[in-house]
């Protein structure tokens, strides 16, 4: 051990869980011993995982009872297939029985798993409906986004359905990944190898400035834990209400205003200029400074 905090980005799904949750509190549902891997990958001779790339279970976090699902980005890019998706959906169904303080989704996924694309697409829409059901029951759902695959495709939509979105600077959130846009529309539209550009269009600081990520944290597991613990305290005092007509009308106005205000924007710099006098410094700002200055403007 070198004493440095563990990078959330570089950790595996199980490593993230072990650092995030109270020691010894995790009980896994449908664990690898059950050998619930994907028959569809097997049919294509593709590599298998006994947990199908997602870990689900119950645990405590800072003393609060939570249900968690953690996607493993190193297995098939965290992509959602039939079994993978059903485990997440089942976890959300379980929340309606157990009434945890919150459900945590550690999202690390490019979206639908193409080897079983139809099953994946249907599964993601089932997850969407399940997230909404859980929230309607007064249970908050938190998305944690800081893995190397980010939160894209249908999982990008699921993430934005969550009650709160905790993101690191390195986390990325969107719908179509830069590679897909480059492949279809050409390199002039989106150069996926330009890492700085990709980050300015999809990264945590951009998403936080737009209000899509609700908390921006450092890329360490303890930072994600502290943020989740803070939210658990807050929601225990005040459970979430499902959006009513007035709330959704307000969201409609806000999203309409954003699309007007940034009608021609194609780079995060143009968004930051609206928030920071010294926008060019944003990439080098620490998370603390960024949050402080964003908070001062709110």
Partner 1 sequence: MNGQALYDRLFGAGAHALTAEGRFLRGTARIGAREAAVIGTLDHAAIDVPLALRIAESILRAVHADAASDMPPRPILFIADTQGQALSRHEELLGLNGYFAHVVRCVDLARRQGHRLLTVISGEAVSGGFLAYGMMADRICALPNSQVRVMDLRAMARVTKIGLERLEELAKQSPVFAPGAENYWRMGGIHELWSENDVWPERLAAALACAGSTDDRAAIGLERGGRLLAAPTAQIVANP
Q: Which of residues 127-146 bind partner 1 (CB under 8 A)?
A: 128-130, 132, 136
Rounded Cα distance between 215 and 186, Å, is: 33
190 or 290, CB closer to partner 1? 190
49 or 201, CB closer to partner 1? 201
Q: Is 202 a residue that touches partner 1 (CB under 8 A)?
A: yes
Residue that the structure tokens 């999202």 belong to = 107
Residue that the structure tokens 């846009």 belong to = 181
Q: Exposed, middle or buried: residue 277 (CB in 10 Å: 0-12, 13-18, 19+)?
A: exposed
155 or 223, CB closer to partner 1? 155
Q: Is 184 a residue that touches partner 1 (CB under 8 A)?
A: yes
Sheet arrangement for strand 164-168: 27-29, 54-61, 64-71, 102-107, 141-145, 164-168, 215-217
Among 42, 44, 187, 274, binds partner 1 (CB under 8 A): 44
Q: Which of residues 160-179 bind partner 1 (CB under 8 A)?
A: 160-161, 173-176, 178
Q: Is 190 a residue that touches partner 1 (CB under 8 A)?
A: yes
Among 4, 23, 237, 245, binds partner 1 (CB under 8 A): 245
Q: Estimate the share of the chain in helix, then strand, then coil, as percent rounded to the nearest 5.
A: 50, 15, 35
Q: Which of residues 246-285 bind partner 1 (CB under 8 A)?
A: 248-249, 251-252, 255-256, 258-259, 262, 264-268, 271
């Amino acid at each position: 051990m070198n004493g440095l905090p563990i990078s959330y980005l570089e950790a595996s799904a199980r490593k993230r869980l072990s650092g995030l949750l109270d020691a010894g509190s995790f009980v896994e549902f449908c664990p690898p011993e059950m050998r619930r891997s994907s028959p569809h990958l097997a049919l294509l001779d593709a590599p298998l995982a006994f947990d199908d790339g997602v870990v689900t279970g119950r645990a405590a976090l800072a003393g609060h009872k939570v249900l968690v699902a953690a996607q493993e980005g190193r297995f098939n890019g965290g992509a959602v297939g039939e079994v993978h998706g059903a485990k997440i959906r089942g976890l959300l169904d379980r929340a309606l029985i157990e009434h945890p303080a919150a459900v945590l989704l550690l999202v690390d996924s490019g979206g639908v798993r193409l080897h079983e694309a139809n099953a994946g697409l249907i599964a993601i829409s089932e997850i969407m409906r399940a997230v909404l059901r859980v929230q309607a029951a007064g249970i908050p759902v938190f998305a944690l986004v800081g893995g190397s695959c980010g939160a894209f495709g249908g999982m990008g939509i699921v993430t934005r359905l969550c009650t709160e979105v905790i993101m690191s600077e390195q986390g990325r959130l969107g719908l179509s990944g830069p590679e897909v846009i480059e492949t279809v529309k050409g390199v002039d539209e989106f150069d996926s190898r330009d890492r700085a550009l990709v980050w300015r269009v999809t990264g945590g600081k951009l998403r936080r400035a737009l209000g899509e990520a609700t908390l921006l944290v450092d890329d360490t597991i303890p930072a994600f834990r502290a943020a989740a613990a803070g939210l658990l305290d807050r929601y225990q005092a005040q459970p979430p209400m499902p959006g009513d007509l007035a709330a959704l009308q307000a969201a409609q106005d806000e999203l309409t205003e954003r699309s007007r205000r940034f009608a021609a924007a194609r780079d995060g710099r143009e968004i930051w200029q609206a928030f920071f006098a010294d926008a060019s410094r944003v990439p080098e700002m620490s998370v603390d400074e960024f949050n402080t200055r964003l908070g001062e403007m709110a």
